[in-house]
Structure 1
Amino acid sequence: MSENKLQEQRLNYLLDEFKADSDEYKNIEIPDNINDKKRILRSLMNIRMPKKMSKTVLEVQDEFLTNCIKEKGIVELSDIPVLKNEISIWQGDIIRLKVDAIVNAANSVMLGCFIPMHICIDNQIHTFAGIQLREECNRQMEEFKVKYGKDYEQPTSIPMLTDAYNLPAKKIIHIVGPIVNNKLTEKLEKELSDCYTNTLNMCLENGLKSVAFCCISTGVFHFPNKRAAEIAIGTVEKWLLEHPNTIDRVIFNVFKDKDKEYYEELLQ
């Protein structure tokens, strides 16, 4: 049987299982179009609260997601040129990167994005890592709530490390960036710098030699893109000078053309 046919069988099976797992959408009509089926599956995964699922379902989910990533194309570290010292820029989908760690722009609840099919990086990472990721994030947050109180939320600039499950990366570092509600302040700039410093410190502590940063706090968190790029590069370059021969590669993963231009100009 062809891989495409196997993928379609996995997709149909997962749709049945995730529908049955949902009280609200267990009777949802499934269209025949395969792309619509994929959108419904992703949406059911996005809205699902963290809880156990059978080993069989997880195995099929893992096979399905692993093949989805292969279809997108896995990007090796050797595929990405070095621009300056240990620093690279790569434009594209961060979930394709086969590195030691990718950085997720998380929110303070740290459970991923619950909005079906949302375009944020948090949604993308949780979708293709698999539902085990939300479970692990929830376990860690529940432990923090025992320690710090039931209303605990992850502070800005403090990273959390998880496995990457079905992604090519080994680990995911989740971090909450500063939110710019009105004007940009020195405090917000310091918090963004701390995101990069603390993430690199976590890499050092855990033997992670390559890391891909997303554009933390830009987008819905409203941090000005150019200033964010300046802070990111300045902080990373300073850290690398202070910790020589500890990190093999730092990748700035960009999505927008404008961000790519900012990083390229700053790294000339």
Structure 2
Amino acid sequence: MKISVIKSDITTIKVDAIVNAANTSLLGGSGVDGAIHKKGGVEILNACKEIRNKQGSCKVGEAVITTAGKLDAKYVIHTVGPVWNKGGFEKEALLRNCYQNSVILANQNDVKSIAFPNISTGIYKFPKKIAAQIAIGTIKRYKNNNTIEEVIFVCFDEENFSIYEKILKNDTTI
């Protein structure tokens, strides 16, 4: 599995699956969630509404998969990251679950390439370095046990990009 990091807009990446840092409603929001819904179009929203009608909201740490609509991907995997607040082991475990459950869905749908945003590091205020270590560490644990050939961490801001680049270069994951 090839693991890389780029600084870009995740809605422009050509991969089999784009991961969305969604909220529990699955109906779009701000940040990456809003951008994915806006650029992907009504198809994504309608697919999310179907999921809500079947199961209700998406719980923190869980993931669901939909069409990618007008995005240059086959799927969008929506996962709900934790709000940091005072942090702790539980928040870290929930963030780890976001990546694990996204990889599980990707494998079930024969995804070869996947792009992840920096889940929970925006308005949910998860510390960026801890979040990056969790993200990279979780993905590396699945390195030999799945169908995914390429993982791209897509950073919208320079701070996250620098953190991911340094961790990947030095292999310093928790």
* Shared fold, TM over 0.5: yes
Cα distance between partner residues in 2 of 1:123 and 1:247: 26
Could you say which residue in structure 2 is the equivalent of 1:108?
Answer: 24
Question: Equivalent of 1:264, from 161, 165, 170?
Answer: 165
Q: Which runs of 5+ in 1 are unaligned?
A: 1-84, 145-151
Provide Cα deviations, 1:207-238, integer angstroms capped at 9, x if missing partner.
01110000001110110001100110111111
State the 1:127 CA deviation. Answer: 0.7
Deviations 1:81-109 (A, max 9, x none): xxxx5101111111111100000011001
Counterpart for residue 158 of structure 1: 62
Deviations 1:120-161 (A, max 9, x none): 1111111111122111111110111xxxxxxx4211111110
Q: Give the structure with the higher percent helix.
A: 1
Separation of aligned partners in 1, 2:98 and 2:19? 10
Partner of 1:174: 78
Partner in structure 2 of residue 11 of structure 1: none
**Residue 124 in structure 1 maps to residue 124 in structure 2:** no
* Identity across the alignment (%): 39
Q: Provide TM-score, normalisation by structure 1.
A: 0.61
Between Structure 1 and Structure 2, the one with more strand by share is 2
Partner of 1:143: 54
Aligned to 2:7: 91
* Number of equivalenced pairs: 169
Q: Which has the higher contact order (CA 8 A, sep 6+)?
A: 2
Cα contact 2:24–2:58 (8 A) shared by 1 = yes
RMSD (Å) for aligned C-alpha atoms: 1.2
CA separation in 2, counterparts of 1:255 and 1:235?
21
1:3-23 Cα shifts (integer Å, max 9, x gaps): xxxxxxxxxxxxxxxxxxxxx
Displacement after TM superposition at 1:247 (Å): 1.1
TM-score (norm 2): 0.93
Deviation digits for residues 229-250 of structure 1, max 9, x if unmatched? 0110111111114x16x21100
- Runs of 4+ residues deviating >3 angstroms: none
1:173 Cα offset (Å): 0.3
Q: Distance in 2 between matches of 1:130 and 1:263?
A: 30
Structure 2 unaligned spans of 5+: 170-174
What letter corresponds to residue 249 of structure 1 in structure 2?
E
Distance in 1 of aligned mates of 2:117 and 2:27: 18
